[in-house]
Structure 1
Amino acid sequence: MRRWFAWHYGVFAGLVPYQGTSMSNVFLCHRKGDAESVERLARELEAAGHAIWFDEWEINVGDSIVAEINKGLTDTAYLVLCYSEHGPSDWTDREWHSTLHRQLSGHNVRLLPVRVSGGRPPAILADIRFADLVSDWEAGVRDLLKAIK
């Protein structure tokens, strides 16, 4: 129901144009300090019809944090690495490192870097184009949606 409401509201309010009927599982990898911007991004991706794994929506009191993150990573087709001026954390490094390894090993998963505030991408991702939400939020979201099929 929540996904339908988000899609319905987003499409008919003109926030994000709906671009198809198939949904992709998208895992949002981020630092807690960026949660507000990342939640905004999560809502826009969800409104476009994608199933979003955002820790604040998925991990409940009493849940095993590690088990829930592992489940989210296992089921995802795309890991959106949200990097910022806050720099990396042990948690985010663990999430995106394992996803990059799976991608390079031929698994059906793709790492998509997104700049949510200042900061630079990790050195190993320097040659990969990123979605830039800092210079133009709407264009960055459109670029990201094009990459998510």
Structure 2
Amino acid sequence: MAEAFVSYRLADAPAARRLAEEVRNAGHEVWFDEWRIDLGDSIVERISTGLSATAYLILCYSSSGVESPWMSREWMSTLARQLDGQPVKILPVRLTGNAVPAILADIKYADLVRNWDAGIRQLLAAIR
């Protein structure tokens, strides 16, 4: 099954955790910081290793935005890999709020606000 990295803001942790659990329960490998970074680990090293091994970056956005320092690094490095021709895909997921961030305006997203279950089905269909 595919490896998916879940990128989110700390304010969205409960919803991001629920999403990560559903993707994992569908049989995919999921990189979620709470599950992959242990006490004493280098945070930067663990995130870098996770990003380099992933085929999908699940970019969770909300009314809190996507502009936290960690999230920005995660999706920008994934976008750079994508533009370099590597087989990685950014899968935007709306957790709360209305506005789609400008950088994601042309990318279809899974809308968990309107219908959580339908959005999860769309997300899982995109992960192959």
> Into which bin does the TM-score normalised by the smaller protein fall?
over 0.9
Aligned to 1:77: 55
- Bigger radius of gyration among the two: 1
Measure, in 1, the Cα distance between the counterparts of 2:98 and 2:8. 13
Measure, in 2, the Cα distance between the counterparts of 1:110 and 1:30. 16
TM-score (norm 1): 0.83
1:64 aligns with 2:42: yes
| Structure number with higher relative contact order (C-alpha < 8 Å, ≥ 6 residues apart) | 2
Pick from 38, 41, 47: which aligns with 2:16?
Answer: 38
Code of the aligned partner of 1:74? S
Pick from 48, 63, 69: which aligns with 2:26?
Answer: 48
1:126 aligns with 2:122: no
Pick from 83, 96, 116: which aligns with 1:104?
Answer: 83
Code of the aligned partner of 2:31? W
Percent of residue pairs identical: 57
Q: Do the aligned partners of 1:83 and 1:119 also contact (CA within 8 Å) in 2?
A: no
In structure 1, stretches of 5+ residues that fail to align are: 1-22
Give how far 1:145 is off.
0.6
Measure, in 2, the Cα distance between the counterparts of 1:74 and 1:98. 9
Code of the aligned partner of 2:21? R
Aligned to 1:115: 94
TM-score (norm 2): 0.96
Alpha-carbon RMSD across the aligned residues, in angstroms, is: 0.9
Measure, in 1, the Cα distance between the counterparts of 2:123 and 2:2. 12
| 4+ aligned runs moved over 2 Å, structure 1 | 119-122
In structure 2, stretches of 5+ residues that fail to align are: none
